[in-house]
Amino acid sequence: MDLELLTKQTIEIVKQASAFIQREAKSFSRDKIEYKDLNNLVSYVDKEAEKMLVAGLSKILPEASYITEEGTTGQEPDPEALNWIIDPLDGTTNFIHGIPVYCVSVGLARGKELLLGVIHEPSLDEVFFGWKNGGAWCNEKKMSVSKVKTLQESLIATGFPYYKFEKQKRYMYILELLMQKTHGIRRMGAAAVDLAYVAAGRFDGFYEYNLNSWDMAAGVLLIKEAGGTVTDFNGGDNYLFGGDIIAGSGGHAELVAAIKDNFN
């Protein structure tokens, strides 16, 4: 499997989906919103973009299966298989409200082994991409995680829960704690964008719970290829299908300690 070639082909397919999303953004109306469940929004844009991605990816790697947010393939996912892991529009709520922070995220994995990742943020026309043992890139510039060594010097990104509020008090305590121990906290509203920014050295760390594999797959590959560290909230490796993630550079161990001691 030529991962570099596959990555380049994936970029072109992702760009086509992003172009569709940007065209629809100009005329999107909120009366086209659907609710999957509490505060979990979707639209025809998400679904059509996913169909475009699946159609294109099927041509370049027909033996792969799919794990997708919107489930348009009708497949029952097998996490142990060779899978394209797709979020056709990460940051749907931002998109719906006209906030230009959203992206298309596509990863390829065999089981938990991540092979390539592509994230395109169409509003800035930035393509973040990489493949296993091939490095990570933003457009034509090679990426590296930040050189910051301590949590105190770090700018941290996170996401706010919009369901499963039973852990909200513990989450808010950690947020308060980190506000006092870092340069600040940012909440962009698109986990894949956050992860891409960690890989690019813009954020020094990221943490969130209640995520899915399609939120993380591409971004995790990029961070690892950019020299960063990724764990679950306990400091282990059960993040891709486990639902929580801590990613970062020099202050990662301190971030894990702050979350592990106060969240679980």
User: pLDDT, tens digit, for every residue of 203-252?
Assistant: 999 999 999 999 999 999 999 999 999 999 999 999 999 999 999 999 99
pLDDT in tens, 95-106: 989 999 999 999
Q: Model confidence at 36, in pLDDT bands (50, 70, 90)?
A: low
pLDDT number for residue 72: 86
Question: Contact at 8 Å (CB) between 121 and 199?
Answer: no
Domain 3-142 annotated CATH 3.30.540.10: yes
Tokens of 98: 């006209």
Exposure on the CB side of residue 228, measured as CA atoms within 13 A? 34
Sheet holding 229-231, edge to edge: 184-186, 155-158, 205-208, 245-248, 229-231
Which residues are documented as binding site? Answer: 69, 87, 89-90, 215
Using the CB atoms, write b or e for 231-256: b if 16+ within 10 Å: bbbbeeeebbbbbbbbbbbbbbebbb
Domains 3-142 and 155-261 share a fold: no
pLDDT in tens, 140-157: 899 999 999 999 999 999
Q: Which CATH class is domain 155-261?
A: alpha beta
Among all chains, which residue has been given the structure tokens 């027909």? 62
Name the residue ranges covered by the structural domains of the chain.
3-142, 155-261
Which residues are documented as binding site for Mg(2+)? Answer: 69, 87, 89-90, 215
Question: Contact at 8 Å (CB) between 108 and 115?
Answer: yes
Q: Give the integer Cα–Cα distance in Å for 65 and 57.
A: 10
pLDDT number for residue 39: 46
Question: How many residues does this entry show for the chain?
Answer: 264
Mean pLDDT over the full length of the chain: 92
